Chains A and B, each alone.
Chain A
Amino acid sequence: MVDVQLSDAEKTYIIHGAQDNLREDGRGCEDYRHLEIETSVVSTTSGSAKIRLANTEILVGVKVELGETSPENPDKGRIEFFVDCSANATPEFEGRGGEDLANEISNMLARAYDCPSCLDMRKLCVVEGKKCWIVYVDVLLLECGGSLFDASSIAVKAALYNTSIPRLTVTHDEGHTELELSDDPYDVQRLDVYNSPCIVTLSKIGHSHVVDASQKEEACCLARLMLAVTDKGCVTAMKKEGSGSFDVSSIEDMLETGKKVGQSLNKSLMEVLVSEDRNMKKKYMTGYLR
């Protein structure tokens, strides 16, 4: 995590605030900050999304490529995550500085999507045992303002929703197969992401836990629990981070909160994405000129 230094008094103020259910910016413990999302921002990708959560800014690009199926899953496609921390976000990311964080995020995303109910990988298979679509998801951190895991998972889901895969026709001809790409660029198939998870990070501050911690709050938190929650409230991955420890009962509490928050997060995200899809025509790009 990218840390800021805080004085003891500021930390005390934040910790007592979390206990009072009134955080520094007036939010309660289970509130997210205002989120802005935009999809299909990079025209050279199969799907892309840009998200801004207060100061956190993340760009995700998805590229699909035809590849060989893996021997252990001959009837499935693959999804691969790669996270890059731009040195524009903070000078600490310069060189190899952001590598640890990037690996952590990509591992967590890979684990979250490793569940068979999240994303139907069978649909990505073209010719069983031979060809399949490989989905490369590239996450770029442009600015850090806390909750990087949550924001990147939301952006990934939005970008996957936006992804269009060209439709292929397979013809079997005397033993060898032929793939034919449709001439129409709009003849595409979309990924079904209704069951993809969003990561909810619960940070323990004092004796209470908060969601969507800001950078200052992250500096006061000793332990955090990350949950990948799907639309139906199913937890597909869980990770504990930080030097502190949890009580068993508090983990149960956090799981409950995480599920509840994750479900409403997924719900509002899907609503927004579907509505953007509907208004595709009259859309104008916002991009980076704010």
Chain B
Amino acid sequence: MAVDIRLASTCVRLKPESIDELTNLVTPGDVITSDTGFMRGHGTFMEDGKHHASVAGVVQRVNKLICVKPLKTRYNGEVGDIVVGRIIEVGMKRWKVDTHSKLDSVLMLSSVNLPGGELRRRSEEDEKLMRYYLKEGDLISAEVQSVFNDGSLSLHTRSLKYGKLGQGSLYLVSPSLIKRRKTHFHNLPCGVTVILGNNGYVWVCPTEGEVSEQTGGYEQNFEPVVRADREVVARIGNCVQSLADHRMMLFDTSILYTYEASLKFPVKDMMKPEVKTEVIDLARQRLERDGT
């Protein structure tokens, strides 16, 4: 039994000296440039012939185009992104999926792999069984197939690596903290699978055998997870949360280094701010040494 109460004023905050000052950081209303030769991009507006930022973020310049990339945002999908989402509605031939974007995403019945075969016609029978395959509240991993005109996403799970997710836990972080990588599915050597969704949803679960990969997750395993695995999942989850709290980019190496730095603390101590800061500092130093 532990109760840990602190005063807000005594809690360790981010050390300012460890953060490089960003020169191109703007807040809403800031003048980016008064030069009229530039083109207006996302996150900016024109007033009195000057470019102003409309969001808080980092200015990016591509030739004559000025954009501001917001630091905290909803997810703006791009084709090919890997996302983790939650089914919120079962509709006519489609599922509505929450992916932390501005509008709900859709997963069409025609863009999922159904159990039992590759080239299968998705018949009326399947339409009636939709809730049997995926029901409200279920979590899926998917890829963005296309982006509609209004910015909403169409997803697909037509590969065996995508599909319904089983036992594990979901962590929500800001989408801008996920580093874009070739792969977002990582089987970490500590026996944990991490799916870093581009939309900021991070799924952590114990690595399973090949059996579940072949069914697309439709056959779920409700057997209790052994305690040792559970502890590692909790630790990785706390690492993900601490990285996000300290605004560090999330990718396989950063998570692994944080995990290794955290091993000297019990899992539940990782929720204390001073332990978080120490672990993150260690991981940050190691990342800088590696030059990544």
For the complex, count residues of B whose C-beta is within 8 A of A. 42
Q: A261 an interface residue at 8 Å Cβ cutoff?
A: yes
Q: Is the CB of A32 within 8 A of B3?
A: yes
Q: Is the CB of B230 within 8 A of A20?
A: yes
Q: B211 an interface residue at 8 Å Cβ cutoff?
A: no
Contacting B1 at CB < 8 Å: which of A12, A26, A264? A264
Q: A16 an interface residue at 8 Å Cβ cutoff?
A: yes
Q: How far apart are the CA atoms of A159 and B236 in the complex, in Å?
A: 36
With A9-B222, A275-B7 already in contact, the answer to whether A33 and B234 are too (CB < 8 A) is no
| Nearest chain B residue, comparing its CB with the CB of A14 | B169
With A16-B224, A50-B8 already in contact, the answer to whether A25 and B234 are too (CB < 8 A) is yes
Q: Is the CB of A24 within 8 A of B237?
A: yes
Q: Is the CB of B231 within 8 A of A26?
A: yes
Point out the residues of chain A lying under 8 angstroms from B136, CB to CB: 5
Q: Is the CB of A272 within 8 A of B138?
A: no
Q: B170 an interface residue at 8 Å Cβ cutoff?
A: yes
Q: Is the CB of B165 within 8 A of A28?
A: no
Contact with A along B258-277 (1 / 0, CB 8 A): 00000000111011110000
With A25-B271, A26-B268 already in contact, the answer to whether A38 and B165 are too (CB < 8 A) is no
With A16-B225, A36-B11 already in contact, the answer to whether A24 and B5 are too (CB < 8 A) is no
Tell me, rounded to whole Å, the shortest Cβ–Cβ distance linking A109 to chain B: 19
Q: Is the CB of B6 within 8 A of A17?
A: no
Q: B151 an interface residue at 8 Å Cβ cutoff?
A: no
Point out the residues of chain A lying under 8 angstroms from B169, CB to CB: 10, 13, 24, 216
| Nearest chain A residue, comparing its CB with the CB of B230 | A22
Q: Is the CB of A52 within 8 A of B3?
A: no
Q: B43 an interface residue at 8 Å Cβ cutoff?
A: no
Q: How far apart are the CA atoms of A6 and B9 in the complex, in Å?
A: 36
Point out the residues of chain B lying under 8 angstroms from A23, CB to CB: 234
Q: A207 an interface residue at 8 Å Cβ cutoff?
A: no
Q: A285 an interface residue at 8 Å Cβ cutoff?
A: yes
Point out the residues of chain B lying under 8 angstroms from A271, CB to CB: 5
**A-side interface mostly:** mixed
With A25-B234, A26-B234, A52-B8 already in contact, the answer to whether A9 and B220 are too (CB < 8 A) is yes
Contact with B along A152-178 (1 / 0, CB 8 A): 001000000000000000000000000
Q: A37 an interface residue at 8 Å Cβ cutoff?
A: yes
Point out the residues of chain A lying under 8 angstroms from B237, CB to CB: 24-25
Point out the residues of chain A lying under 8 angstroms from B225, CB to CB: 13, 16
Q: Is the CB of B168 within 8 A of A13?
A: yes
**B-side interface mostly:** mixed
Q: Is the CB of A265 within 8 A of B234?
A: no
With A28-B268, A38-B8 already in contact, the answer to whether A10 and B231 are too (CB < 8 A) is no
Q: How far apart are the CA atoms of A288 and B167 in the complex, in Å?
A: 36
Contacting B266 at CB < 8 Å: which of A7, A26, A272? A26
With A7-B139, A22-B230, A285-B9 already in contact, the answer to whether A33 and B271 are too (CB < 8 A) is yes
Instruction: State which residues 205-229 of B face A: CB under 8 Å.
Output: 220, 222, 224-225, 227
Q: How far apart are the CA atoms of A52 and B271 in the complex, in Å?
A: 13
With A10-B168, A26-B267 already in contact, the answer to whether A268 and B5 are too (CB < 8 A) is yes
| Nearest chain B residue, comparing its CB with the CB of A286 | B8
Point out the residues of chain B lying under 8 angstroms from A269, CB to CB: 5
Q: How far apart are the CA atoms of A5 and B134 in the complex, in Å?
A: 14
Q: How far apart are the CA atoms of A210 and B169 in the complex, in Å?
A: 18
Tell me, rounded to whole Å, the shortest Cβ–Cβ distance linking B261 to chain A: 16
Q: B80 an interface residue at 8 Å Cβ cutoff?
A: no
Point out the residues of chain A lying under 8 angstroms from B2, CB to CB: 28, 30-32
Point out the residues of chain B lying under 8 angstroms from A5, CB to CB: 86, 88, 136-137
> 10 A-B contacts, Cβ less than 8 Å apart?
A7-B138, A7-B139, A8-B138, A10-B170, A19-B224, A25-B267, A27-B271, A34-B4, A38-B8, A276-B9
B residues with a Cβ closer than 8 A to A are 1-9, 11, 13, 86, 88, 136-139, 164-170, 220, 222, 224-225, 227, 230-231, 234-235, 237-238, 266-268, 270-273
The 8 closest A-B pairs by CB, nearest first: A26-B267, A5-B137, A38-B8, A26-B234, A30-B1, A13-B167, A286-B8, A16-B224
A residues with a Cβ closer than 8 A to B are 5-10, 12-13, 16-17, 19-20, 22-28, 30-38, 50, 52, 54, 154, 216, 260-261, 264-265, 268-269, 271-272, 275-276, 283-286, 290
